[in-house]
Structure 1
C-alpha cells in the first residue's frame, strides 16, 4: 500500500512514475541500478502488463536485470542493442549543472557505459539528492584488484593538488570482505566533502593506473526528474532550459506495492 511508504520512498516513486512516461513502444532503454531505479523498473513493468508497452531494456547490473525480467520487461544486452534511445537512472548527488555522483550501488561502470551509449539520459531522484557542490556523498572509484593499494596511494597523493576539502579514501567492504562489482573489481570510496572542479577531478582520476572508472558523470545527464514526498514532480531539462512541475496522486491499491 502506498500509504505505508515513507516520504522519501513516495518521492522516489513519483519521480520514477513520471520518468516512465518518457518510454515509448519500440525504444531501447537503459535501466539504472539503485532504489529509485528499482521503482522505475516496477512502474515500467506495470505499463508492460497493463497497457501493452513494448520496449527492450538494457540493465546496468545483474540486480536490475533480475527485477526487469520478474516484472515482464524484455531484457537484452548493450551489445545486442548497440545504441539506446534513452537511459533512466538514479543519482547519489546532482548539482545545478546536472553533474552527478553515482555508484553508491556499486554499478558505476556499467551505468556510465550505458548512459553514454544513449541519445538521452534522464536522472530520477528525490529532492534531497540536489546539492550546491558535489562531494558530500563519497565518490566511488572502481579499481582492478591487482595492486589496489598502490592505486589507493596514487589517488591520495593526487588529491593533494585537487580542489577538494577531504582526502580520505577507503576500500568498500561487503561484511569482512572487499565489495566485488559485476566486473570483479573493487571500489574505493573517496570522502572529499566538497569537489571544487568535478570535471578536472574526473579526468585526472581516470589517468591513474589501476583505475577503471569513477562515479562523476559530467555532461551526460539531459534531464532530472525530482520527486517530493507530497507527490509533486519537477522536471528540469538542461538542454531546453525549462522547468515544469506536475502533481501525481497515489493510488492505494496500486499493484506496485503488493510486494512491499
Structure 2
C-alpha cells in the first residue's frame, strides 16, 4: 500500500495491532487515512478467517476499502452501539503532563465530521499513528467543514479567533475540495494552539461550521507503531 507521509512499516504495525482489539460480534467504526487503512485490511483478513462483525465506515475511501476486503457494513442508525472505533490522526498531543494529552487534529482527508460522529459514538476509540504524528503541542492547521454559503462568514469568524483560513483546493480538478457531505473545507492556521478545548468550543459556535478537526477528550488510547513494535498510550 502507498502511504502519504510517515513510516509505512510503523503505520502497518499500529494498524494491525489495533485490529487485534476487534472481537467477534462487535460493531466497529472504520477510520480514514493511510494508517487506518492497514487496520481495515487486517480486519478484512480476520473476517476471511471467520470473524463476525459489522463495521461503520467514516468516508467513501474507508467504505470502498472495507468492501474490497469483505467486511460487512452497517450504519449508525441501524445499530444500538458502536463497540470500537479505529482511526488515524494528523497530529496527537503526546505529553502526559499536559491537559491536552491525547488531543488530536484530524481532517487531512476531509472526513473529520463523519469520523468524529463515529468516534464519539464508540465505547472505545483507538488512534493509530506513527511517531511523526506525535507532538508536545498542536500546531497544524485545523480543518473546518463549512456549508458552501457560510464560507466567507466562517472565514471571518476564524480570523477573529486568531486563525488564518485557506479554502482547501482540490489536487486533480479545478476548484475546491468537496467533502462526502457536499461541503467545503477551510484549513485554519492558528499557530501553536495553547488551549485546544477552548478553541474547539469557539469553532463549534461559528454558524455554518458543520464540524472542526479538533478531537478533544475522545481518544481512549493511541497505538504508535515503532521500528520494532507498538507503543500504547492510554488516556
- Please give the TM-score of this superposition, normalised by the length of structure 2: 0.92
- Cα deviations by residue, 1:143-189 (Å, 9 ceiling, x for unpaired): 10013112101211122xxxxxxx32100111421111111011100
* Distance of 1:213 and 1:63 partners within structure 2: 19
1:212 maps to which residue? 210
- Could you tell me which runs of 5 or more consecutive residues in structure 1 were left unpaired when the two chains were aligned: 160-166, 239-260
Write out aligned runs for 1:50-89 (5 A).
Answer: 51-89=49-87
**Contact 2:85–2:119 (8 Å) recurs in 1:** yes
Which residue of the other structure, out of 165, 170, 173, is the alignment partner of 2:169?
173
Which residue does the alignment assign to 1:41?
A: 40
Distance 2:150 2:45 in 1: 45
d(CA) in 2 for partners of 1:132 and 1:19?
Answer: 23
Q: Is contact 1:94-1:131 (8 Å) kept? A: yes
Give the Å deviation of 1:33: 0.4
Q: CA offset at residue 193 of structure 1? A: 2.5
Structure 2 unaligned residues grouped into runs of 5+: 95-100
Partner SS for 2:102: coil
Give the alignment's Cα RMSD to 1 decimal. Answer: 1.4
- Equivalent residues of 1:45, 1:71 under 8 A apart: yes
Q: Give the paired residue count.
A: 224
Contact 2:27 2:53 in 1 (8 A): yes
Query: 2-side partners of 1:40 and 1:193: how far apart?
Result: 31
What residue is the counterpart of 1:16 in the other structure? 15
Q: Is the 8 A contact 2:130 2:225 kept in 1?
A: yes
Mapped to 2, the partners of 1:157 and 1:236 lie a distance apart of 35
Spell out the pairing of 1:1-260 with structure 2 (5 A cutoff). 8-49=7-48, 51-96=49-94, 97-135=101-139, 137-159=140-162, 167-174=163-170, 175-228=173-226, 230-238=227-235
CA shift at 1:217, angstroms? 0.4
2:7 counterpart SS class: helix
Runs of at least 4 residues off by over 4 Å: none
